Amino acid sequence: MQICAVAGEVSGDQILAPILSRVSESVSAVYSGVAGPQMIEAGTYPLFLMDRLSVMGMMEVLPRLPELLSIRRQMKHYVSTSRPTALITCDAPDFNLPLCAHAKSQGIPAIHVVSPSVWAWRRNRIPKIAKQVDLLLCLFPFEPELYAGSGLRCQFIGHPLAAQIEFNPDHAESRTTLNLPLTGPLLGILPGSRESEVKRLLPLFLDAFDLLISETPDLLGVIPAATDDLYMLIQSMVGERSIYVVRGQSRQVMDAATALLLASGTAALEAVLTGRPTVAAYLMNPWTYWVVKGQLQTEFVTVPNFLAKHALIPEFIQGDASAHSIVDAMTPMLKEGPTAHFLMEARKIHDSLGGDVTDHAAEAIMEYLL
């Protein structure tokens, strides 16, 4: 069985790699496509490296658009000429869904893992997505209902993070691993995994840290850097502040922290699944924000708040994101830790997303293809 597989983000690489490995346990499969390090380790031959697709934001993508369109044209040609048994894509819907539509038009089953965020914005995309994809595997339990009546075969498989993350772990083990003090307040700061995000968000987060430390002199910070280049950049921006910068290990940083300040996105869900009180904030290009804001269809931007149906974690987006608003929300978290209500709601979310995601996904794929 020859399968073309495409992931455009780190999260997609992490989700798709074990699924492909599990499929290989049932059938003899050869994989090729756009792959990250984990997919390559799982046996995927990289026609293109995933890093070439990793870009976020409407305005930010414009300089890269010719390259991205070229890669997609080449991938369409590859699908047409190699005639794989199936195309399996994950994340990066703007790149992947048109590729799925092309495969489907060629009579090649198109399977997409991770629904676009139609719950949050541009819900009018659903009929188009239904025409582009044969099988959609969703990470959240509310998503299949959104596609009801569209004719698209849609299945909830659970979220891989819930299977990977221990709820409310002890701080000490991770602090020891990271060579951090075992006692005292520790703020985990996660400004994103892209240089553009770090440059935009970290100055705001550092301003908030400076205000917090004026009230809590023994406060320490820790920032995980996703790459060596970001490590050097973050070190230069942190300066003489009492903030540790570590290479990778974002999960350990979350476990070790008293509270978390992070970029709105997948990290916010990870934080809540870990049971750590969290403040989420995000800044984006003003034009990108103007377009996105006009199409938002939900009160909340962060997934945990949408799942909880209320503001479980404070979220500050664009104009609402200021050092003072962050400090006002963060101060009680650092002094008192998580409330009983927060832990109860976070545990509910953890339980609702659990299960063997890899098994569920592989079974759904095999059932569709065989």
Q: How confident is the model at residue 54 (pLDDT cuts 50, 70, 90)?
A: low
What class is the 2-158+355-369 domain? alpha beta
Q: Is residue 310 packed enough to be buried (19+ CB in 10 Å), middle (13-18) or exposed (0-12)?
A: exposed
Q: Can you give the pLDDT at residue 324?
A: 96
- How many C-beta neighbours within 10 Å does residue 227 have? 14
* Residue with more model confidence, 58 or 354: 354
- Fold agreement (2-158+355-369, 171-352): yes
* DSSP code for 23: H
SS3 content of the chain, % helix, strand, coil (to 5): 50, 20, 30
Domain assignments of the chain as residue spans, ordered by start:
2-158+355-369, 171-352
Round to whole Å and give the CA distance between 204 and 254.
20
Residues counted in the chain = 370
Residue 207 has pLDDT above 70, yes or no: yes
Assign domain 171-352 to its CATH superfamily: Glycogen Phosphorylase B; (3.40.50.2000)
Instruction: Please state, in angstroms and rounded to a whole number, the distance separating the CA atoms of residues 20 and 88.
Output: 9
**What's the confidence (pLDDT) of residue 355?**
82
Mean pLDDT lowest among 116-130, 155-169, 278-292, 321-335: 278-292
Per-residue pLDDT, 318? 82
Instruction: Give the Cα separation of 267 and 278 in Å (integer).
Output: 10
Q: pTM of this prediction?
A: 0.81
Say yes or no to pLDDT of 329 above 80.
yes
Interior/surface letters 12-37, b for 16+ CB within 10 angstroms, e for the rest: bbbbbbbbbbbbbeeeebebbbbbbe
Residue 62: predicted pLDDT = 65
CA end-to-end distance (rounded Å), the chain: 11
Question: What residues contact 31, with CB distance under 8 A and at least 6 apart?
Answer: 3, 4, 5, 20, 39, 42, 43, 44, 45
pLDDT tens-place string over residues 263-299: 977 899 999 999 999 999 988 666 565 556 555 556 7
- Provide the pLDDT for residue 8: 84
How much is the average pLDDT of 17-31?
94
The mean pLDDT of the chain is 91
Q: Is 132 within 8 Å of 109 (Cβ atoms)?
A: no
As a whole number of angstroms, the distance between CA 109 and CA 346 comes to 37
* pLDDT tens-digit map of 60-119: 566 667 888 899 999 999 999 999 999 999 988 989 999 999 999 999 999 999 999 887
The DSSP output letter for 305 is H
Q: What is the pLDDT of residue 252?
A: 96
